[in-house]
Amino acid sequence: MKGKPGVRHSFMIKDILRSRKLLLLVVAAGMVLFYVCLSARSVPAALTVTRKSTTFVAKRPAEPCQSNHDAGFLTAIASKLVDASGCRVYLTGVNWFGFETSSFAPHGLGVRNWQAMLKQMAQLGFNTLRLPFSDQLFDPSSVPQGINYRLNPDLRGLHGLALMDKIIEGARKAGLRVILDHHDASADERSAFWYDAAYPQSRWIDDWVMLARHYRGNDTVIGADLDNEPHYPATWGDDNPYTDWRLAAEQAGDAILAVNRDWLIIVQGIDLYQGDSYWWGGNLEGAAKHPVVLSIRDKLVYSAHDYGPSVYDEQWFKVSSPAVLTQTLPALWDRHWGYLQKDGIAPLFVGEFGGPSMGGDLEGVWQRTLISYLHTQGISYAYWAWNADSGDTGGILQSDWKTVNQGKMSALSAYQWPLLGQP
């Protein structure tokens, strides 16, 4: 039966009105539930919900994690480093050298207490300590020199791995994370390769496996910088078992990850690739065609070193005025290593850069331009160096090993990140 058209029309209007009321009730209930859920999750201050009439716009937080979360070990996701809670972090650290030298101990311990220096690093805003060492450090005959045991009584009798343990434990108490850096095979001798006549490739890998196993589970130590500044005749991607640094890095990295799945594997560049010469360890052009492939893909971090004219007056510093560098240097960095981060290939860690000047000269403009570039691109770094005795760059500490170079800290403070796991 068709019924009367007028009557049927009035029923349809009532039905529609009832449906709309029901829909409004459902929407209102959903909005209440949304706010209850947000409150229960303790929304970070960075996440704000702005009311515009009946439209709610959620502003995505730049860093979504709150303080006091579990930082733990780090993972590489595309070009980002994230901690155990999934929060993005940036390593803004400093190098403290000496373990790689014939002193077999971090320098400065003749005039300062070791714990006081680590505490000072954290107070100045660094969150990471890059700690160079040599294979020779672990030989029983390698006895530390230059330590004032009156100032450092708790270091007496310690050497090699035991002394490294002590420094790392102090770093933990100060809130610093540690990256171990294989700086040399033999103390005070910079080989072009990751090995030399006294310490072959097998010893290099064995020492890394020993360290990875020894510090397994200790989240103060977060990564292995496999070798410092390989350079010519080191190659990249030609599969020569004696010279191919990319191949060697894969072998050592996989050996480490087999016993310690938590560490970041940090791989520097070389200097000469297909005729293009750059800083030792700073040329990563080859990674585009021949990437490092590890057994655990999200542990790879590439690393470059970059220096100014105080180390060597490279051709790109020959400009009409220092100000020109602010325009020319970013493209140079993009080509040699920055593209890896910018293109989302892998995170970058500039493990060394530094120089004596932060002024308006070539050195100062280079340093300040690089800091700005690292900040803009979100690239982690470790400054060279903490030490007052770094001859061609100077250090954060001045010659008394106590006074801070305020010019350097003023520039670096523009790009520092809190202690991992802290606000």
Q: What is the rounded CA–CA span in Å between residue 300 and residue 128?
A: 18
For 369, residues 6+ apart whose C-beta sits below 8 A from its C-beta are: 325, 326, 329, 330
**Furthest-apart CA pair in the chain: how many Å?**
108
The secondary structure of residue 297, as a DSSP letter, is G
The SS3 assignment for 94 reads strand
**Residue 363 annotated in active site:** no
Work out the end-to-end distance of the chain between its first and last CA atoms, rounded to an integer number of angstroms.
Answer: 73
Residue of 100, 229, 250, 285 with catalytic role: 229
345 and 388 in contact (C-beta within 8 Å)? no
On the 0-12 / 13-18 / 19+ scale of CB atoms within 10 A, 197 is: exposed
Residue of 100, 250, 285, 352 marked catalytic: 352
Q: Cβ atoms within 10 A of the Cβ of 2, count?
A: 5
3-state helix, strand, coil in the chain (%, to 5): 35, 15, 50
DSSP 119: H
Q: Which residues are the active-site residues?
A: 229, 352
